[in-house]
Amino acid sequence: MCRAVVRWAVLATMLTMPLGACAQGLLTNIAHRETTSLNGPWHYIVDPYETGYYDYRRQPYDQQAQPSTSAFFSNHHPADRQELVEYDFDTSPTLNVPGDWNSQNDQLLYYEGTLWLKTSFDFVAASTGNRLFVHFGAVNRLAEVYLNGTKLGVHEGGFTPFNFEVTGIVRPRGNFLVVKVDNSRRADAVPTISTDWWNYGGITRDVTLIEEPAAFIRDYAIQLKPGSAHTLAGFVQLDGAATNEKVTVSIPELGVEQASAVDGNGLARFELDAPAVRLWSPGSPRLYEVVVKTARQTLRDDIGFRTITTRGADILLNGKPIFLRGISIHEENALLGRRAHSEADALQSLNWARELGCNYVRLAHYPHNEHMLRMADRMGLLIWAEVPVYWTIAFGNPATLSSARQQLTEMVTRDRNRASVIIWSVANETPPSDARNAFLRNLIAHTRALDATRLLSAALETHAEDEVSVVSDPIGEQLDIVAFNQYRGWYGGTLHDAPEARWEIRSGKPVVVSEFGGDALQGLHGKRDERWTEEYQEYLYQQNLKMLQKIPNLRGLSPWILADFRSPRRLLPGIQDGWNRKGLISNRGIRKKAFFTLRNFYRTVQPRDD
């Protein structure tokens, strides 16, 4: 869970309209605030025994007592050579932040456990009375954060943002920020112990110090009002504001503006009539500068406006049917074998997707960094965003549910102003059971309460009945899009007769095949019936595409996967060597033969959105 040092109580429920607000006090739109980057080289100490968390007697540290000089977060330096201190950040090696430790030090490639990181900084506020926050884009997986020896809080979840207020703790000179990072896998966590991607540890996204006025804009949302093509509706949440303080929302290019007074919780709601608004789409990714202003602060954002709905078997973007020509993507720079974290990383993946002919990408299996979403907004790519409720997690554990809900809240809160996001996904390949069904229904209801302007889905599984592939997961009744993964020709079934396969989708809703594919080592050639060759993968795509076109209500595909990615599960020497080879692009950036098969298929799909 996320526990922040904050001054003001957080609003629990905000709106009657379907745009909910984050209950964790998360600051949004970090890119356009007054910030100081804390990125760069941080000193680190590898601590598999968690020595730095205990005093010299190896007794647990009492948070009510004065910090032990042996606790790493105290950053203590000995007064003389008689004093015993067995650590020193300043003479320890460094890691780049943002970044994972696995790819920066070969000795840490497989390391899972605790690592302490420290940076130092000076800071003078621009104005007396301003408030300060430290914001983390993500830390994988469990972060304990200390500033100048004071514990700020704990955040669990490796792919979502969080922040702590540090007003009154930051001093003009000599600040030290220490983060205890633990990427250990745990059975009751989200994700759980078993996954099929690399467990990159570290501070994997940007760290920023944010300066705000005493009363400031914490969060806001603006979307087309459901059922309207020209009325914009939303809210602004102020923190520290007095009742009836005014906040103005305007879109200068459209000539619209509205001033509203906040209530006792700092919340203002608004509606703007914008008859001249041009809708965002892949063919025309139109963004408008939105200005949110108070007497103390002006915050700007670039936002696109579009509608996404379903009608029968169709997915409607701005009221018109669309076929989702997609691909799945992991948050990894395949060429460098590390966690992706920069705008350049995002541009590389999304340019590859566009070259493939995609209008849509599935960001698997967790929330990706904000650069991906903002870049997709500008490039006109639709997004499926997902939380890591993956395989068989502890569905009966209330704490696991709480963690999943928290990560959903943080994902939706950060990204609900991004036009590119059209689908929130609550799970991937979770086998049905009473406990699982109740778990996912809870997440679905929670997501709809947070944001009912987008579609909901999950990557479901199939089963066979009398040689018919059946999609009948009961959770599909709660979703807007029925999506499923299938791996005919790789994990079962044959390829030569795949086009004759029979499918039964027990739903009249739109269908998206969220995954299919098979491995190939780029450069390995042979016959089409020889596994691991490019020819086998090419044939697999050819036959699967013929098969999937016959599925009733098919409205989209996101094959697995854009590029090869690291996975400790994939160990075949000379072929996998720690890489999942299902990518259409190799980890050297070379297109495999199946890349062109899929691209040619997408060129035959009527691009009604372009």
For the chain, state the CA radius of gyration: 25
Distance CA 471, CA 483 (A): 9
**3-state SS class at 506:** coil
Question: Predicted confidence band at 68 (pLDDT cuts at 50, 70, 90)?
Answer: low
Is it the case that residue 15 has pLDDT exceeding 60? no
Q: For residues 282-308, give the mean pLDDT.
A: 98
Interatomic CA distance for residues 417 and 280, integer angstroms: 12
Burial of 183 (C-beta count, 10 Å sphere; 0-12/13-18/19+):
buried
Query: What is the mean pLDDT of the segment spanning 228-251?
Result: 96
Q: Is the pLDDT of residue 507 over 80?
A: yes
- Tell me phi and psi for residue 575, to 5 degrees: -120, -60
pLDDT band (50, 70, 90) for residue 69: low
How do residues 110-136 score in pLDDT, each as one tens digit?
A: 999 999 999 999 999 999 999 999 999
Single-letter amino acid, residue 344: A
* Among 475, 472, 471, CA closest to 444: 475
Q: What's the confidence (pLDDT) of residue 384?
A: 98
Mean pLDDT over 586-610 rounds to: 88
Average pLDDT over residues 97-121: 98
Give the pair of three-digit tokens for residue 78.
Answer: 């000995």
Q: In 424-559, where does DSSP find H-type helix?
A: 434-450, 534-548
Q: Which two tokens stand for residue 589?
A: 């950036």
Pull the structure tokens for residue 129: 């009375």
Answer yes or no: is pLDDT of 90 > 60: yes
Q: For position 448, what pLDDT does the model report?
A: 97
Name the average pLDDT for the chain: 93
| Global confidence as pTM | 0.94
Q: Are 198 and 567 in contact (CB under 8 A)?
A: yes
Q: What is the 3-state secondary structure (H, E, C) of 477-519?
A: HHCCCEEEECCECCCECCCCCHHHCEEEECCCCCEEEEECCCC
Q: Indicate the SS3 state at residue 98.
A: coil
Query: Taking residues 209-226, what's their average pLDDT?
Result: 97
355 against 59, higher pLDDT: 355
Q: Is the pLDDT of residue 351 over 80?
A: yes
User: How would residue 604 be classed by pLDDT, with cut points 50, 70 and 90?
Assistant: very high
Distance CA 598, CA 582 (A): 13
Using CA atoms, how far apart are residues 225 and 453, in angstroms rounded to an integer? 8
Query: Strands 360-363 and 382-386, how do they pair?
Result: parallel
**DSSP line for 13-39:** ---SSSB---SS-----GGGS-EEE--
pLDDT attached to residue 237: 97
> pLDDT exceeding 90 applies to what percent of the chain?
90
Amino acid at 339: R
pLDDT of residue 349 exceeding 90, the answer is yes
Does the pLDDT value for residue 19 go beyond 90? Answer: no
Residue 12 is which amino acid? A
Give exposure, 456-489, as e/b (b: 16+ Cβ within 10 Å).
Answer: bbbbbebeeeeeebebbbebbebbbbbbbbbbbb
Helix (H) or strand (E) holding 404: helix 398-415
Q: What are phi and psi of 537, to 5 degrees?
A: -60, -40
Tokens of 431: 């086998």
Q: What are 556-594's pLDDT values in tens digits?
A: 999 999 999 999 999 999 999 999 999 999 999 999 999
Q: Give the pLDDT band of residue 383 (cuts 50, 70, 90).
A: very high
Mean pLDDT of 20-41: 83
The dihedral region occupied by 75, where left means phi > 0, alpha psi between -120 and 50, and beta the remainder, is left
Least Cα distance to 485 among 322, 607, 360, 365 occurs for 365
The lowest-confidence range among 18-32, 319-333, 460-474, 510-524 is 18-32
Residue 443 DSSP code: H
pLDDT (0 to 100) of residue 552: 86
Over residues 200-228, the mean pLDDT reads 97
Place of tokens 């098979």: 518
Distance between CA atoms of residues 29 and 415, nearest Å: 9
Q: Tell me which residue of 392, 237, 364, 373 sits closest to 303, measured CA to CA.
A: 373
Q: Are 140 and 376 in contact (CB under 8 A)?
A: no
Mean local confidence (pLDDT), 529-553: 97
- Per-residue pLDDT at 12 exceeds 50: no
Beta strand segments in 39-169, E:
40-46, 94-97, 114-121, 131-136, 142-147, 150-156, 162-165
Q: What whole-number distance in Å separates Cα of residue 218 and Cα of residue 571? A: 46
Ranges of beta strands (E only) in 157-297 are: 162-165, 175-182, 207-212, 216-224, 231-239, 246-251, 256-261, 267-273, 288-293
Q: Nearest to residue 305, comparing CAs of 285, 283, 325?
A: 285
Distance CA 13, CA 228 (A): 24
Of 304, 292, 145, 299, the closest CA to residue 224 belongs to 304
| Residue 155 identity (one-letter amino acid) | H
Q: What is the mean pLDDT of residues 299-328?
A: 97
Residue with tokens 């990204």: 415
What is the rounded distance in angstroms from the CA atom of residue 89 to the CA atom of residue 226?
53
- Which of helix, strand or coil describes residue 553? coil
The pLDDT score that the predictor gives to residue 70 is 79
Distance CA 358, CA 324 (A): 8
Phi/psi class of residue 153: alpha, beta or left (left: φ > 0; alpha: ψ in -120 to 50)?
left
**pLDDT surpasses 60 at 458:** yes
Secondary structure element (H or E) that encloses residue 456, with its range = strand 455-460
